[in-house]
Structure formats: C-alpha cells, structure tokens
Amino acid sequence: MATYGVPVFKVLDWIRKARKIWGGVTGIWRAIRSGPAAAEIGPEAAAVLEGILGYGSIKEHCF
C-alpha cells in the first residue's frame, strides 16, 4: 500500500467491492486481465489490486 501512496482503508474498501462484484481472487484476476475492473471499480483501484495480486509483474515477463 505504501508503494502506491494509498490509505489502507481505501484499499480494503476496493478489495471488498471487488470481492462483492467478482466473487474472489480468480474472478478479480480475470476482471483485471480482461479489462472490466478499471471500468467498474476505477483505474486506480484496478492498478493497486493488480499490484497486490502480482499481475503486473507477470504481465511484464510473459506478454
């Protein structure tokens, strides 16, 4: 969280909202990968969740 400069409570709220929409880690992962995460929870939230899940580093090395 400190890396992104976002308060912890805000990140927890994004995680709760993402779980409510997509059900869990796998659903959130798919939403980030395919694009609707940024549209539904906001680009900043999607970027932070992408970092938490490690999708950014995987995307860098594989794609």
State the pTM of this model: 0.75
The rounded mean pLDDT for the chain is 84
How sure is the predictor about 20, in pLDDT bands with cuts at 50, 70 and 90? Answer: very high
Q: Give the chain's domain count.
A: 1
* More confident position, 25 or 6: 25
Q: Give the integer Cα–Cα distance in Å for 31 and 22.
A: 8
Residue 42 maps to a domain: yes
User: Domain range spanning residue 45?
Assistant: 8-62
Q: In this predicted structure, what is the pLDDT of residue 18?
A: 94
pLDDT at 63 over 60: no
More confident residue, 57 or 5: 5
Euclidean distance between CA atoms 39 and 7, whole angstroms:
21
User: Is residue 29 assigned to a domain?
Assistant: yes
pLDDT level of residue 31 (50, 70, 90 thresholds): very high
User: Angle formed by the axes of helices 8-22 and 25-34, to 10°?
Assistant: 90
The 10 Å Cβ neighbour count of residue 37 is 26
CA 55 to chain CA mean position, Å: 9
Residue 2 included in any domain? no
